[in-house]
Amino acid sequence: MCDNPEICICQDTLDRMMPMHVLIGPEERITHVGPTLAKTQPGLNLVGQHFFDVFQPRRQGCQGNLMEACAKPGMKVYLRLRDEHATQLIGNVSVLPDRAGILMNLSFGIAVIDAVGRYDLAGSDFAATDLTLEMLWMFEAKSGALAESSDLAERMYGAKKAAEADAASDMLTGLCNRRVLDQVLERLVSRNAPFSLMHLDLDFFKAVNDTLGHAAGDHVLQVVSEILTEETREEDTVARVGGDEFVLVFDNMTDPKRLAKIATRMITRLEEPISFKDDVAQISGSVGVVSSTHYDPPDVAQMMEDADAALYASKERGRACFTFNQPGLTALAGNAMTKAG
């Protein structure tokens, strides 16, 4: 019996099981797309198009030689459609036997609710096992409940906030909350592990809420959480500690050059326009950085205060930048804020 039998799957089966898939030939041209993905580009025949004429990479991983990039174990792709909405996509890839092509199975991820309305999709456009169906059902159920009773909506909102305070994660973004952040920092200090801490505050976020509404603001926060998660490692911690404030903890990383590269990448990605319905939100981020190796012994409260001072310095420098805490910076920031008050 063959250890690695090749299984032939007909196109209809692929369309039913993976309606968001795309097949790419060796010349990086699209040979087939699933029916749901095809609905996102009405009137345009995607077959024969060059892959990068239809999809724009959101990260550098799949740029260059697509076949070589997709051959990496565990490779994921982060894309956006080259249309007026610039809809974001995430997917898994696999190189076909004998390098005959690439099979890419895509998903809308957190952008699914917007995509359903934008492209007139329904539950029947997704595979029966796709968690997207559960998300759509929950969204419709919630919308129905809100429409039936504003009083019920207020009670649900209060319960949601109470649950969020006690839960291990932030309900909107799925990131860690302040409670979990404190536990992580406590654990790192107790085992004398080196770590660095970044305090990030979004620039121009208030303008998004004021001009586009709170629904747009929530969407921006979800996109930001995705960016921060993608730019950190599995062992790192990303927490939302305020409306548009985040703290990132980098376990066993104190090299200023590595931290500077990470902060630069995050700020660059945060400055990319974020689509919401027919509008576009524009933000950036300011960052303050501290490392535990500058403290003897590390004091979490002092580190948080120093990171906040470094963040304030970044704001003073014109925003959209990062600052490492330096001796005297905390006192300087405190004096400046006192004068401002």
Residue 76 sits in the same domain as residue 202: no
Task: Please give the Cα distance from 8 to 160 (Å, whole number).
Answer: 48
- Under 8 Å between Cβ of 224 and 287: no
- As beta bridge partners, residue 91 has 77, 106
Residue where a domain terminates, one of 96, 125, 154: 125
SS3 category, 56: strand
Please provide the size of the chain in residues.
Answer: 341
DSSP helix, strand, coil percent of the chain (3-state; round to 5): 45, 20, 30
Secondary structure E strands in the chain: 21-24, 30-33, 55-57, 76-81, 88-95, 102-107, 195-203, 237-240, 245-251, 274-276, 279-281, 284-291, 322-324
Which of 286, 308, 327, 296 is CA-nearest to residue 197? Answer: 308
Which CATH number belongs to the domain containing residue 107 in this structure? 3.30.450.260
Task: Please give the Cα distance from 299 to 101 (Å, whole number).
Answer: 54
Q: Is the residue at 4 inside a domain?
A: no
Q: Is the residue at 263 inside a domain?
A: yes
Task: Please give the Cα distance from 20 to 307 (Å, whole number).
Answer: 43
Task: Please give the Cα distance from 212 to 280 (Å, whole number).
Answer: 9
Q: Is the pLDDT of residue 151 over 80?
A: no
Task: Please give the Cα distance from 269 to 281 (Å, whole number).
Answer: 13
Confidence of residue 340 (pLDDT cuts 50, 70, 90): very low
CB contact set of 274 (below 8 Å; sequence gap of 6+)? 219, 220, 223, 280, 281, 282, 283
Looking at residue 339, its pLDDT comes to: 34
Phi then psi for 32, rounded to 5 degrees? -165, 150
Task: Please give the Cα distance from 106 to 55 (Å, whole number).
Answer: 11
Residue 93 sits in the same domain as residue 184: no
- Whole-model pTM over 0.85: no
- H/E element, 166: helix 150-166
Residue 226 sits in the same domain as residue 313: yes
Residue 191 sits in the same domain as residue 115: no
Which of the pair, 95 or 281, is modelled with greater confidence?
281
SS3 category, 199: strand
Residue 99 sits in the same domain as residue 186: no
Residue 216 sits in the same domain as residue 336: yes
Residue 94 sits in the same domain as residue 237: no
The number of domains in the chain is 2
Residue where a domain terminates, one of 125, 143, 163: 125
Q: Is the residue at 333 inside a domain?
A: yes
Confidence of residue 336 (pLDDT cuts 50, 70, 90): very low
Q: What angle do CA 252, 284, 86 make, to 5 degrees?
A: 105
Which of the pair, 61 or 282, is modelled with greater confidence?
282
Q: In which order are the strands placed within the sheet that holds 30-33?
A: 30-33, 21-24, 102-107, 88-95, 76-81, 55-57
Q: If you average pLDDT over every residue of the chain, what do you get?
A: 84
Q: Which tens digits make up the pLDDT trace of 56-78?
A: 888 765 666 787 777 777 778 88
Confidence of residue 334 (pLDDT cuts 50, 70, 90): very low
Residue 334 sits in the same domain as residue 236: yes
Which of the pair, 46 or 135, is modelled with greater confidence?
46
Looking at residue 139, its pLDDT comes to: 53
Looking at residue 329, its pLDDT comes to: 62
Q: Is the residue at 309 inside a domain?
A: yes
Q: Is the residue at 233 inside a domain?
A: yes
Which CATH number belongs to the domain containing residue 319 in this structure? 3.30.70.270
Q: Is the residue at 141 inside a domain?
A: no
Q: Is the residue at 131 inside a domain?
A: no
Residue 287 sits in the same domain as residue 209: yes
Q: What angle do CA 166, 170, 172 make, to 5 degrees?
A: 130
Which of 225, 239, 245 is CA-nearest to residue 184? Answer: 239
Q: Is the residue at 35 inside a domain?
A: yes
Which domain covers residue 57, as residue numbers? 11-125
Residue where a domain terminates, one of 125, 158, 189: 125
Residue 306 sits in the same domain as residue 202: yes
